[in-house]
Structure 1
């Protein structure tokens, strides 16, 4: 359904496409988007035919991180980003996941995409872990996955500076992912998924389990430390002011 914030389709035999398409909220982590993503990955887990997943967004948006309302609720100590485990959905998925980031990846949205087994970026899109622009330290496992996937120096720079980078800038910095024109991102990801789907499912699951075992083992302790940093940084009055001002008119 067009109104569904998360689309689920079998685009090829054994290949599933999960599409984040919450146009109302520009793919920020609204309650409906979180629920839709969780349900979609549960369907993948239950589908014994599925061998690969392509995770993508719509138009110029991949995923945009927390909503204004959720950030203010965290600031008020009413919720935590750990209340839902969307950051770990791709990592915990038994079969390989390809993040086709055809659009902007912002904050937790970028971190979530990096937890996939394969990442494809768009030259024209922007990517940022902009937590520190709001005055609070990163969450969503970003402090683990950025240095791990991008290299320590670039990962640290993105986390601490909170700067915005175009995909073409990251390509120039040597990120180890394909960086393509936006229109080429999804077809490339689908072709990669089809290549994976030629392999036996049990072999794909077994190899993924082995390759991501260290990342899965490390993530809980990083999440615990990120929550502890939030206890120190998220509840400052200036953080609330920054959230309010940066979302003004948005």
Structure 2
């Protein structure tokens, strides 16, 4: 694979995102994640998947330059739906997927992490959905998953201010399970993954299936509505200004049209 490195040991598939410099979430990377799931789904040597990032970040966001190649709101909505489908597959996967987050998980990177069954973080990591800074909204089910973890009010604050929270704060708000130092992050995550890998795969699969019943029909309705709104917002002048300002590394000037 071009962007993912996979190693398997003691029942755990360690999957490293390797797309320098920031492991930006391109459509190609999302497609590789889907193919990785194909690869490990029926592999009996894999009982748990640990997803982490190479370099300085887990994933610092979506590939903004790729956005500039999209020509219509409809195409943008399809891009969102495709990512949503892969992340939904992750969350309903029959083997546990754990995200080990260091550096930053922002925008699409956090949405990817929220598609995992749970998250272990570096204490100083930054987690956030800064899409409104670009005149956009999250498009990979971030608006639906984030409030499930941190509550409606905190999710609204994170979305509307674009301010990230730290790994320690993520644990406090329920977005992450444990926070460790950068050095301890992967070893501690692997310890937990190996502990889970010793459980009966039949029981683990059943437990994961039961957890899916906590998602109501309105969750799926919200996910579809998000993809539609993602495309609608994308064709606004504010979105064009936000994306251009990001590329030019300047403050955007939004006018409400």
TM-score norm. by structure 2 comes to 0.86
Pick from 26, 38, 42: which aligns with 1:42? 38
Corresponding residue for residue 115 of structure 1: 115
- C-alpha distance in structure 2 between counterparts of 1:92 and 1:48, whole Å: 18
Equivalent in the alignment of 1:21: 18
CA contact (8 A) 1:102 1:186 kept: no
Does residue 72 of the first structure (1) align with residue 50 of the second (2)?
Answer: no
Superposed displacement of residue 247, structure 1 = 2.4
RMSD: 2.3
Matched with 1:8 is: 6
Question: What is the alpha-carbon distance in structure 2 between the residues aligned to residue 99 and residue 89 of structure 1?
Answer: 15
CA positional deviation for 1:165:
2.3
* Cα pair 2:167 2:176 within 8 Å, conserved: no
Q: CA deviation at 1:226?
A: 0.3
SS at match of 1:221: helix
Report deviation, 1:37.
1.4
Contact 2:92–2:212 (CA under 8 A) maintained in structure 1:
no
SS in 2 for 1:63: coil
Deviation at 1:73, TM superposition (A): 4.1
Task: Report the Cα distance in structure 1 between the residues aligned to 2:160 and 2:249, rounded to whole angstroms.
Answer: 26
State TM-score, norm by structure 1: 0.88
**8 Å Cα contact 1:9/1:18 also seen in 2:** yes
Please say if residues 59 and 102 of structure 1, whose CA atoms lie closer than 8 Å, have aligned partners that are also in contact.
no
The answer to whether the 8 A contact 2:3-2:17 is kept is yes
Alignment of 1:60 with 2:62, yes or no, is no
Who is 1:208 aligned against? 208
SS of the residue corresponding to residue 43 of structure 1 reads: helix
Give the SS at the match of 1:65: coil
User: What's the offset of the Cα at 1:36?
Assistant: 2.1
- Determine the structure 1 residue equivalent to 2:82: 83
> 1:87–1:108: 8 Å Cα contact kept in structure 2?
no
Structure 1 residues 99 and 176, CA gap change in structure 2 (3 angstroms): closer
Unpaired runs of at least 5, structure 1: none
Q: Which residue of 2 aligns with 1:101?
A: 101
Q: Pick which of 231-240 and 182-191 moved more.
A: 231-240
Moved over 6 A (4+): none
Instruction: Tell me the SS of whatever aligns to 2:220.
Output: helix
Say if 1:97 and 1:44 are closer, same or farther in 2 by CA, change over 3 A. Answer: same
Question: Mean alpha-carbon deviation: is it higher for 166-175 or for 101-110?
Answer: 166-175
Cα distance in 2 for partners of 1:35, 1:114 equals 17
Query: Are the aligned partners of 2:81 and 2:224 in contact in 1 as well (CA < 8 Å)?
Result: no
Whether the 8 Å CA contact 2:121–2:179 is kept in 1: the answer is yes
Q: Number of paired residues?
A: 246
Q: Does 1:192 align with 2:229?
A: no
